[in-house]
């Protein structure tokens, strides 16, 4: 069948009108499907140091997180672990907690549930130095 006969029947024109929609959906789909919570910033920073005493841990993500289904676990210098309470208030993309820490090497393991329903996790190692004088 020739192209002119296909054009008269509307069989060639139809795919050409769908082409822009196909391209647009192909561009937008990866954007909407990639909403995993990724750590963008932390205080203390990864590999950073803070003075001993009461410290505030603040983790900021690229998307909203479900605090009730998320977890922060502190690993102490002696390798014991403690689950840290997450502050229930604040911006939807930030988790905060406080802890009284002595000098040593620590790590916070974070596990968050993002709005896309996926769990992501990671670690923030940091050092607590002697008290500032």
C-alpha 19: how far from chain center: 34
Region 7-32: mean pLDDT is 49
CATH numbers and ranges of domains, the chain: 3-33 (no CATH), 39-129 (2.60.40.1220)
Q: Is the pLDDT of residue 33 over 50?
A: no
Render pLDDT for 106-132 as a digit per residue (tens, 0 to 9): 999 999 999 888 999 999 999 999 864
Label residue 4 left, alpha or beta by phi (over 0 means left) and psi (-120 to 50 means alpha): alpha
58-61: long-range contacts at Cβ-Cβ below 8 A with a sequence spacing of 24 or more?
Answer: 58/94, 58/95, 58/96, 59/94, 59/95, 59/96, 59/108, 59/110, 59/124, 60/93, 60/94, 61/37, 61/93, 61/94, 61/95, 61/112, 61/114
Q: Is the pTM of this model over 0.75?
A: no
- How confident is the model over 42-53, as pLDDT tens digits? 999 999 999 999
């Amino acid at each position: 069948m020739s192209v002119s006969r296909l054009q008269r029947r509307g069989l060639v024109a139809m795919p050409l009108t769908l082409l822009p929609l196909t391209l647009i959906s192909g561009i937008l789909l990866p954007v909407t499907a990639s909403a995993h919570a990724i750590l963008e910033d932390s205080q203390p920073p990864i590999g950073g140091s803070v003075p001993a005493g009461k410290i505030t841990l603040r983790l900021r993500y690229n998307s909203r997180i479900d605090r009730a289904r998320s977890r922060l676990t502190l690993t102490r210098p002696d390798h014991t672990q403690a689950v840290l309470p997450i502050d229930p208030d604040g911006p939807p993309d930030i988790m905060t907690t406080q802890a009284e820490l002595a000098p040593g090497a620590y790590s916070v393991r974070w596990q968050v549930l993002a709005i896309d329903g996926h769990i992501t996790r990671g670690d923030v190692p940091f050092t607590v130095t002697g008290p500032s004088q």
